[in-house]
Structure 1
Amino acid sequence: MAEVGVRAALPRDVDAVTDTQIRAWRCAYAFLPEEPLRQMAGEDARGLWRRQWEEAIVAPPTPRHRVLVAVERGLEDEDEPNGTAPDNRRLRERVVGLASHAPAEDPDLDPGKFAELLTLLVDPGHVRRGHGSRLLNATVDHLREDGYTGVVTWVFEEHTPMLAFLESAGWAADEAERILDMGRPVRMIRLVTDIS
């Protein structure tokens, strides 16, 4: 049985965070038009996302900008050099999800009171194991420590699993929306929750 947890992302996690984002987007955002999704989550975009995650993890703009990772730890077989059955096992840790947050930037929100959940993703092979809930809870814990009383996030209206997950955790849509041109109009809605 694997141990699970959430911790601050470390520089060694940059590649795993990037790969997790791309896999999660390809799966979760399959409702988006093909070309924009390819631009967002294709191999050509990997270098851009890797640089952005490295900057976010290694040199965040402020102490209130954070990246958290969900991890699974377990014993993994170590191959024997002579090809015999493995006898040695060691503890391995795998990044299986991520969350990032920062002070809210929407002009109608006070960035001293409101934070924004920028990213909440779980690797498609590790969903329904509680990683999303652990990431969300850890994020809220950090935000409370930083003195925030509310959190917002932007979600594609068609991303019904994420909407259902956040609504079940007490989030609700407010009046704000964005319409993105992705070859067709794609609506995003803002969700908000009180963490005071």
Structure 2
Amino acid sequence: MSTVTVREAVETDAAEIARIQRVTWRTAYQGVLSEQALAELDSADTEARWAEAIAHPGSRVHLAVEGSFVVGFCVAGPAPRDDVADAHGALPADAGRTGLIGTLLVEPRWARRGHGARLLAAAAAGLRELGADRGITWAAETDAATLSFFRRAGWHPDGTVRTLDTGEGRLRELRLTGALEIPLVE
């Protein structure tokens, strides 16, 4: 059996992170995101943006590794004001102690092996180290797999919704929130 681990990304991981994002989004969001948005993932800019994200102070990019393969990633850091505010722009009392899971993706062919759970647990531990008490994330209202995954981790919609323009339509996302003491939810 292969060894499975989670480690922090380094700049040379940017190309592999971009590849995983392309494969996963094309599988999970085909028909939800515009063809133009999916095609933009093929640009060299995508890899450069991931290199910037890895180097960004305060946030962490965690990688799930099985054997010698990077199979998924998770980006976490302090929650920006716009993400933690309510629909009227008011901030909750714990805004400065709220972390954001910005992205958590596992390549579909590596799914159902506990990689997502290990990534979320590592990201939550990292957010606690940064002083966060709770976490938030956004998930497409139609993404049953992601919603179910976070619910198993004890995260639930908090009533805040945002609508994104995908270029060919609108994508409605729910904000989920939960504790950062996360049991491994494999």
Tell me which interval the TM-score lies in, with the shorter structure as reference length: 0.7 to 0.9
State the match for 1:103 in structure 2: 78
TM-score norm. by structure 1 comes to 0.81
State the match for 2:143 in structure 1: 159
Give yes or no for the alignment of 1:72 onto 2:66: yes
Q: Choose which of 113, 129, 135 in structure 2 pairs with 1:129.
A: 113
Q: Counterparts of 1:194 and 1:156 in 2: how far apart (Å)?
A: 20
Give yes or no for the alignment of 1:142 onto 2:126: yes
- Report if aligned partners of 2:18, 2:41 keep a CA contact under 8 Å in 1: no
- Report if aligned partners of 1:121, 1:132 keep a CA contact under 8 Å in 2: yes
The 3 A distance-change label for structure 1 pair 125 and 176 is same
Q: Which amino acid counterpart does residue 42 of structure 1 have in structure 2? A: A
State the match for 2:50 in structure 1: 53
State the match for 1:171 in structure 2: 155
Which of the pair has more CA radius of gyration?
A: 1
- Report if aligned partners of 2:157, 2:177 keep a CA contact under 8 Å in 1: yes
**What secondary structure, in the 3-state scheme, does the structure 1 residue paired with 2:96 have?**
coil
- Report if aligned partners of 2:125, 2:180 keep a CA contact under 8 Å in 1: no
Give yes or no for the alignment of 1:23 onto 2:7: no
TM-score norm. by structure 2 comes to 0.85
Q: How does 1:30-49 map to 2 (within 5 A)?
A: 30-33=30-33, 36=34, 38-42=35-39, 45-49=42-46
State the shift of 1:147 in Å: 1.4
- Report if aligned partners of 1:22, 1:41 keep a CA contact under 8 Å in 2: yes
Q: Which amino acid counterpart does residue 70 of structure 2 have in structure 1? A: V
Give yes or no for the alignment of 1:188 onto 2:185: no
State the shift of 1:186 in Å: 2.0
- Report if aligned partners of 2:9, 2:61 keep a CA contact under 8 Å in 1: yes
- Report if aligned partners of 1:103, 1:111 keep a CA contact under 8 Å in 2: no
Unaligned stretches of 5+ residues in structure 2: 86-90, 182-186
State the shift of 1:11 in Å: 1.8
More strand by share: 1
- CA-based RMSD: 1.7
**What secondary structure, in the 3-state scheme, does the structure 2 residue paired with 1:177 have?**
strand
Unaligned stretches of 5+ residues in structure 1: 74-92
State the shift of 1:181 in Å: 3.0
Q: Which amino acid counterpart does residue 120 of structure 1 have in structure 2? A: L
State the match for 2:88 in structure 1: none
